[in-house]
Amino acid sequence: MSKIHTHYDNLKVSRMAPQEVIRAAYKALSQKYHPDKNPGDEKAARIMAILNSAYGTLSDPQRRREHDEWIAAEEWEIEWLESTKAEEEAKRDEHYAPQWVQEPPQQSKFKRRVRTSLWVALSLTLGWGAAVFMQWQFQIIPASNVMLSRAEAVAAPKSSAPTVLDNKPQEPKITLNAQLYLLGQDVSCSAPLRSEFAPNGEVWPAKSGYIEGYKVANGGGDVKIVLDNSANHSDTMITLIDQGRHQEVRHLLVKAQEKFTIENLLAANYEVRQQVLGISQSAKLACESEPVKSESVKSPSPAATVVSPANTASAPTSNPVSN
């Protein structure tokens, strides 16, 4: 089975490691890759950011539990895909049975000529009979019907493509829409700076959108989910989970005071998990330049689950829930 790279691998510890072992591993690796000991080394700075992200997740019991659930879901999906592929290959091998191909008997030139002549004569006879039949059919058409057909032909627009009449009613296209107001959090000048890299080690996108390095699944549908972060003053990382398959299908960043729409989703039961990131460098500088506006701003918080039913014309909008 394919191996999944996790935060445990980044810190070089086992998945059952206690907090003391995780803390010791992080301390040892930090001493090796710390920017103070590697000035100007971009690779060391990148590794240090990954270590900080890994330790931040594994040192928090709730975030570590979510990370373990994500690992279990990914391994289950990989195992299911590999077992399905193995079964399909076994079925192909089971039904594969090569057989001899019997060559048609060789015929003499005389027989081939006689058969060809018969086919030509038969074709000419059938063609003549069809022409007579068509002419006879044309002759018995009433004159009124012929004139009506000509009038309709004159009134109809010219088009080289044939017109196909379909009396079946067209089924309306169903589009499921849902809007989710993202959870707010107190943001102040004293809030910690957010990491420069996402949990998978990739750089955060410059604008609201998907994070590179994560796969995008459950596409090809008509479900849309609008993530509204316009009331918050901090960026938010969103993880969209298909509850039926226990699979993370989208990972994205919604910038502060912006919206982002997830489109082309298949209809399913989705859970939206969000992580409010720390204050950005630009916001930190703005706070320092305006010390009077250092009071925290709290945004409304919504429900964390969006359910998209498959048999309704619109998905329900999640209702805000107080903290």
Are 179 and 296 within one domain?
yes
Contact 266, 308 (CB under 8 A): no
Hey, what are 289's tokens? 């330049």
Are 195 and 70 within one domain?
no
Quick one: pLDDT band at residue 275, thresholds 50, 70, 90? confident
Are 178 and 87 within one domain?
no
Residue 295 lies in a domain: yes
Are 182 and 282 within one domain?
yes
Are 295 and 196 within one domain?
yes
Are 83 and 184 within one domain?
no
Mean pLDDT of 160-175: 50
- Domain end call among 35, 68, 91: 91
**Would the pLDDT of 320 be above 60?**
no
Report the percent of the chain where pLDDT is more than 70.
53
- Using CA atoms, how far apart are residues 201 and 49, in angstroms rounded to an integer? 7
Please state the length of the chain. Answer: 323
Tell me, what's the pLDDT at 321?
A: 36
Mean pLDDT of 60-87: 87
User: What does DSSP say about strands 176-181 and 219-228: parallel, antiparallel, or unpaired?
Assistant: parallel
Residue 119 lies in a domain: no
Higher-confidence residue of 169 and 20: namely: 20
Hey, what are 226's tokens? 């609008």
Q: Which CATH number goes with the domain that contains 53?
A: 1.10.287.110
Residue 256 lies in a domain: yes
- Domain end call among 40, 75, 91: 91
Are 81 and 182 within one domain?
no
Residue 153 lies in a domain: no
Residue 25 lies in a domain: yes
Residue 264 lies in a domain: yes
pTM: 0.41
Q: Is 285 exposed, middle or buried (0-12, 13-18, 19+ CB in 10 A)?
A: exposed
Backbone angles phi and psi of 65, in degrees to 5: -65, -40
Q: 246 in the Ramachandran plot: left (φ > 0), alpha (ψ -120 to 50) or beta?
A: left
- Domain end call among 62, 91, 120: 91
- pLDDT tens-digit readout, 124-155: 555 555 544 444 443 433 433 333 333 343 44
Tell me, what's the pLDDT at 316?
A: 37
Backbone angles phi and psi of 177, in degrees to 5: -125, 140
Domain total in the chain:
2
Tell me, what's the pLDDT at 95?
A: 55
Residue 117 lies in a domain: no
Are 187 and 68 within one domain?
no
Coil vs helix vs strand at 314: coil
Domain membership of residue 275 as a residue range: 173-307
Residue 54 lies in a domain: yes
Contact 194, 235 (CB under 8 A): yes
Ranges assigned E (strand) in the chain: 176-181, 209-210, 219-228, 236-242, 247-254, 259-265, 269-276, 305-307
- Using CA atoms, how far apart are residues 146 and 264, in angstroms rounded to an integer? 52
CA 240-249-309 angle, to 5 degrees, is 65
Are 67 and 177 within one domain?
no
Of 71-80, 127-136, 240-249, the poorest mean pLDDT is in 127-136
- pLDDT tens-digit readout, 186-239: 556 666 677 778 888 888 898 999 999 898 998 888 888 999 988 887 888 899
